[in-house]
A and B are shown apart, each in its own frame.
Chain A
Amino acid sequence: AQSVSQHNHHVILSEAASLELGCNYSYGGTVNLFWYVQYPGQHLQLLLKYFSGDPLVKGIKGFEAEFIKSKFSFNLRKPSVQWSDTAEYFCAVNPSGTYKYIFGTGTRLKVLA
């Protein structure tokens, strides 16, 4: 079955620390990849997306993600987190040719000021 794994369920960092959140998916075909974020009290919103081309994609607020096809991974990174990055982060996969989006279980990030 198609699935998305986010191994880090809770992450606590101090401000200015570097962040990397893991995302792995199980699907053998072509996929479109997304990271969504949900800030406290807000709706889910798109952080960044990958469809094709340069496997390193940049999103809003200094986030970036790298698609490594051989590892079926799409890890999210930020060199220096801020308190305002405290949120829940979801990785999502859209298998090409379908309209279905498969979300991971999410990672709750808490950044200490």
Chain B
Amino acid sequence: DTGVSQDPRHKITKRGQNVTFRCDPISEHNRLYWYRQTLGQGPEFLTYFQNEAQLEKSRLLSDRFSAERPKGSFSTLEIQRTEQGDSAMYLCASSEVDTQYFGPGTRLTVL
């Protein structure tokens, strides 16, 4: 068990560009979560997948954000037309039931 992995670990982009992050959960975990964390704040829930189905999405999430989990294994989070306010740590977590295992995160900086 190698844990939850995320790629890339760091991403610097210019405002207006699109970015995509990948999360590989622990292999037997069917639940997958995306969070965003800014400095001095706790993780903010973005979306939840059970297998390939996206069952919950934060109302705070703008239309520029989209997430997929096409085969119920890895997941991608895409941000279109990035803004400086999107700069944050993007965390992925997976679980079998209720204990979430977090990945190291992808730190996004939008210039």
Contacts and interface: CB of A to CB of B under 8 A. Distances in A.
B45 A101 contact: yes
Contact of A99 (B40, B41, B48): B48
Given A43-B104, A98-B56, A99-B55, A104 B42 contact: yes
Contacts of A94: 98
Contacts of A43: 3-4, 101-105
Interface in B71-109: 91, 93, 98-105
A109 B45 CA distance: 24
Nearest to B37: A103
Q: How large is the interface on B (under 10, 10 to 19, 20 to 34, 35 or more residues)?
A: 20 to 34
A101 B33 CA distance: 9
B98 A32 contact: yes
Interface stretch (A11-19, A44-52, A69-77, A79-87): A44-52
Q: How large is the interface on A (under 10, 10 to 19, 20 to 34, 35 or more residues)?
A: 20 to 34
* Listed residue (A6, A36, A104) with the most chain B CB atoms within 10 angstroms of its CB: A36
Contacts of A101: 33, 43, 45, 100
Contacts of A106: 40-42
Nearest to B104: A43
A49 B98 contact: yes
B48 A100 contact: yes
Interface string A27-41: 000001000100000
Given A101-B33, A103-B35, 14 more contacts: A43-B4, A43-B103, A43-B105, A90-B42, A99-B33, A99-B55, A99-B56, A100-B58, A101-B43, A101-B45, A103-B43, A103-B45, A105-B40, A106-B40
23 contacts: A4-B42, A32-B98, A43-B3, A43-B104, A43-B105, A44-B43, A44-B91, A45-B101, A46-B99, A46-B100, A49-B99, A99-B48, A99-B50, A99-B55, A100-B48, A101-B45, A101-B100, A102-B45, A103-B35, A103-B42, A105-B41, A106-B40, A106-B41
